[in-house]
């Protein structure tokens, strides 16, 4: 690994942006296009492709083979499992590729959310903070904060604590004791 201050970028990786925060690691054979923001303390694995304009916030972890296209915004501490793919427009045709910018639909992933391995995230949706999209899911709609969804198409399966445990009772996590209340956008932590 070539080390530049606290940034570790494998020499086989193609980096076209200079907007990468300190203490971030990028593995072999990845391609980061221009005008991509990558925050501090991020991990980007082997063979990832990050397209122009994508925003990746501090503390985010992308496993190997993750593809993220223009229009995607990842908040802090998002986890994306291996081979997960984000889609950015709805009606792909070979003869109209690449799409016009107005055809690209934005996807936002909230703080602390987790996207399981091999998931496909369709565009134009919001994944709430600390939500969990289970491995192998096809996500076709927005997900509320702390909501667990999985399947094809992904459906509601329960609620997740900030610590990662499933919540059997939103009033008390069996693992960490955190307590939540239900609001329109999902669960809200009791401070």
CB of 62 to Zn ion, least distance (A): 24
Q: Which is nearer to Zn ion, 14 or 174 (CB)?
A: 174
Q: Which stretch binds Zn ion (CB under 5 A): 16-24, 68-76, 150-158, 162-170?
A: 162-170
Kindly state whether residue 66 participates in binding Zn ion, applying the rule CB under 5 A: no
Residue 120 and residue 127 in contact, taking contact as beta carbons nearer than 8 Å:
no
CA distance 129 to 78: 9
Judge residue 14's burial from the number of C-beta atoms within 10 Å of its C-beta, 0-12 exposed, 13-18 middle, 19 or more buried. Answer: exposed
Could you give the string, one character per residue 111-150, with x where binding to Zn ion holds by CB under 5 A and - elsewhere?
A: ----------------------------------------
What count of Cα atoms within 13 Å lies in the side-chain half-sphere of residue 123? 18
CA distance 51 to 71: 9
Report the residue from 96, 153, 168, 176 that binds Zn ion according to the rule CB under 5 A: 176
Kindly state whether residue 173 participates in binding Zn ion, applying the rule CB under 5 A: yes
- Interface residues with Zn ion (CB under 5 A) are 161, 163, 165, 173, 175-176, 178
């Amino acid at each position: 690994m070539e080390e530049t201050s606290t940034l570790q970028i494998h020499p086989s990786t193609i980096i076209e942006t200079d907007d990468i925060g300190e203490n971030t690691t990028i593995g072999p054979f990845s391609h980061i296009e221009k005008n991509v923001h990558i925050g501090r303390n991020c991990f980007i694995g082997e063979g990832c492709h990050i397209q122009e304009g994508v925003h990746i916030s501090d503390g985010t972890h992308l496993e190997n083979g993750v593809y993220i296209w223009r229009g995607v915004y990842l908040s802090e501490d998002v986890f994306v499992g291996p081979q997960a793919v984000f889609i950015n427009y709805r009606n792909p045709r070979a003869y109209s590729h690449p799409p016009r910018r107005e055809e690209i639909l934005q996807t936002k992933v909230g703080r602390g959310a987790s996207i399981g391995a091999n998931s496909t995230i369709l565009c134009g949706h919001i994944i709430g903070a600390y939500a969990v999209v289970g491995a192998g899911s096809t996500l076709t709609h927005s997900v509320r904060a702390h909501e667990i969804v999985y399947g094809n198409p992904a459906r509601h399966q329960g609620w997740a604590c900030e610590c990662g445990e499933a919540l059997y009772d939103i009033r008390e996590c069996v693992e960490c004791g955190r307590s939540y209340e239900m609001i329109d956008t999902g669960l809200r932590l009791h401070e």
